[in-house]
Homo-oligomer: A and B are copies of this chain.
Amino acid sequence: MSKWLKGSGSDKDVVISSRIRLARNLKDYNFPHRLKGDTSTEIINKIKDIIGGEKGLLNGYGFHVLKSMSDIQKNAYVEEHLISKGLVDNSARSAFAISRDEKKVVMINEEDHIRLQVILPGFNLLEAWKICNEIDDIFERKLDYAYDENLGYLTSCPTNVGTGIRVSAMVHLPCLVLTKQINKILQAVSQIGVTIRGLYGEGTDILGNIFQISNQITLGETEEEIIRMIKNTVLQILSKERISREMILSKGRIAVEDKVFRALGILKNARIVGINDAMKLLSDIRMGCAMGLIKDLDYYTINKLMIWVQPSMIQKNNYSNLNQHEISIKRAELLRRELNT
């Protein structure tokens, strides 16, 4: 579980993960939403065959067809950031292949025929791009992509046309939220073509002070230029977060210690914990680690818990369909077990 979170990666005090996603479509097929069942299966099989026939980067992938999965299983993959909500919404026609280390995912018949995703822990956009590009090259050699000389890669939604790239970093910004600077920053970056979203992408709430920073525009710039732009934006926000962290520590160390250690005390002892409560408290202790106040916890444990406390993850790991109250009880058990070791 959550294997993709493991590994090195810089700036983990702020950057939880770096992700590159490429949208691709096959030339002679309707876009997924207009596909008949047979044709969608044809596309799934085409891609499955390529993956099955390849060694190297595409070796040993697991393959999942969404219509044969339970809702809990599907939603748990979404909560792990491994597949998109859009793939689940299109369950009748969609599938995905996932590498053993979970860092590479090929989604089939989401909004586009192919969505390649590479997700790495920490701040590591260039490495993610390198891997994603290599996978794309493999597919491009075997498939006829829908491509236009002027527009570039054609996509179901015009916002992805061109490079088809979405470059994003998941960042934890508790101090910018605490010092109320976050809204000013959100406004500023939206004017330079950068979008900031909640934990589970478009239209989702900000949970646990985690933000996804990504590019708005995919057309008219090269992949490298887009990556550089997101990288620089993240670097700036990261620096602002660290400055406000130091400010909070120098101005009100005891108050922030109180906040952090109360959170830890609650997480280690509570018997019922709702999802919003869990994310808020985990955010507080993550801030405590970044501030050097908590020394016996690592980012991997907290990042992992931020995923494991999600409702479908809890249901999946308990092999049952629990109601909300039961989930909150199991969530509290999980937190006690993981944090009291």
Contact = CB atoms under 8 A, between A and B. Distances in A.
Contact of A265 (B255, B257, B266, B329): B266
A261 interface: yes
A133 interface: no
Nearest to A273: B258
A38 B228 CA distance: 88
A269 interface: yes
Contacts of A255: 271-272
Interface string A307-339: 000000000000000000000010010000000
A262 B258 contact: no
A146 interface: no
Q: Which of A269, A329, A332 neighbours the largest number of chain B CB atoms within 10 Å of its CB?
A: A269
Interface in A251-266: 254-255, 257-258, 261-262, 264-266
A270 interface: yes
Interface in A122-163: none
Contacts of A242: none
A268 interface: yes
A266 B243 CA distance: 29
Interface string A35-76: 000000000000000000000000000000000000000000
A82 B148 CA distance: 90
Interface string A203-222: 00000000000000000000
A75 B179 CA distance: 39
Given A254-B329, A329-B254, A266 B262 contact: yes
B261 A271 contact: yes
Interface in A240-289: 254-255, 257-258, 261-262, 264-272
A262 B254 contact: no
A329 B257 CA distance: 11
A258 to B, nearest CB: 4
A297 to B, nearest CB: 13
A259 to B, nearest CB: 8
Nearest to A255: B272
A262 B265 CA distance: 7
A81 to B, nearest CB: 29
A61 to B, nearest CB: 42
Contacts of A332: 258
A289 to B, nearest CB: 15
Contact of A269 (B254, B264, B272, B329): B264
25 contacts: A254-B271, A254-B272, A254-B329, A255-B271, A255-B272, A257-B271, A258-B270, A258-B272, A258-B332, A261-B269, A261-B270, A261-B271, A262-B265, A262-B266, A262-B269, A262-B271, A264-B265, A264-B269, A265-B265, A265-B266, A265-B267, A265-B268, A265-B269, A265-B270, A266-B266
Given A258-B272, A261-B270, A264-B269, 8 more contacts: A255-B272, A258-B271, A261-B271, A262-B270, A264-B265, A265-B265, A265-B270, A266-B266
Give the 5 A-B CB pairs with smallest separation, nearest first: A265-B269, A265-B265, A258-B271, A261-B269, A258-B272
Interface of A: 254-255, 257-258, 261-262, 264-272, 329, 332
